[in-house]
Structure 1
Amino acid sequence: MDPSSGVPPFEQVRSGLARQINAGTLAVGTKLPTVRGLAEELGIAPNTIARAYRELEEAGLIETRGRAGSFVASSGDESLSRAREAAETYAAVTRALGVSADEALKIVRAALNHADR
């Protein structure tokens, strides 16, 4: 957590966990800390962690099993695969439009920055 960052805390938590899941640092089936436990550890509100977990669940990266807790879902690999497919489609479209690779990357960075707000 970076309190001085302009990125909202829930997004810092969500993106940090998503990176770890997609990189395989958090393996499929790994049990995540409880909402309250992680909130206490990071010194932020439980609702912030709950929102990050909800968004990760909606993205298919984690699954919540009631009182048993939240776990890294097996679809995490599928999410990364879908992102790669989307990137390949984007590359093909921008190439066909005659957009340079540098310009295409600028467009992606702008879109990602906009999505983080």
Structure 2
Amino acid sequence: MELPLAINKASTTPPFEQLRMQLLAAVQNGTLPAGTRLPTVRALAGELELAANTVAASYRALEKDGVIETRGRSGSFVAATGDPTTAQLQLAAQAFAERAGQLGVSPAAAVAAVRAAFDAR
């Protein structure tokens, strides 16, 4: 399976997080439908020129979020039970946290801004 994945080594976002976000997006947009077998950690690491531990960290994070499941020696697969709403919220929160950090805003001030936005709705 050919996945359109690319790691920007100049990005301030760690490679494992870039990979996690790209795989999550592929699940959400249907490029990786439920039940799809993912490349092995070593194969994907070689393809993306990353350390195997970097790919494994992405897979572990996605598994923790219920997006993928590991079936022992059979490999890793897109889970049938991943909640797209939760995944979308996680992406939005990550983007917000990253932008708030770029602006030099403290976590407490960022959370206060979110609460104010909800109150204004």
Could you tell me the TM-score, scaled by structure 2's length? Answer: 0.68
Identify the residue that residue 110 of structure 1 maps to in structure 2: 96
**TM-score of the pair, normalised by structure 1:** 0.70
SS in structure 2 of the partner of residue 30 of structure 1: coil
1:81 aligns to 2:69 (yes or no): no
In structure 2, stretches of 5+ residues that fail to align are 1-6, 102-121
List runs of 5+ in structure 1 lacking aligned partners. Answer: 88-104
2:22 to 8, 16, 27: 16
Q: What is the identity percentage for the equivalent residue pairs of Structure 1 and Structure 2?
A: 48
| 1:31-86 deviation per Cα after TM superposition (whole angstroms, max 9, x unaligned) | 0000000000000100000000000000000000000000000112xx213456x6
The size of the alignment, in residue pairs, is 94
| Cα RMSD after superposing both structures | 2.6
Higher relative contact order (CA 8 A, sep 6+): 1
Is 1:5 paired with 2:11? yes
The structure in which a higher percent of residues are helix is 1
Distance 1:69 1:112, change over 3 A: same
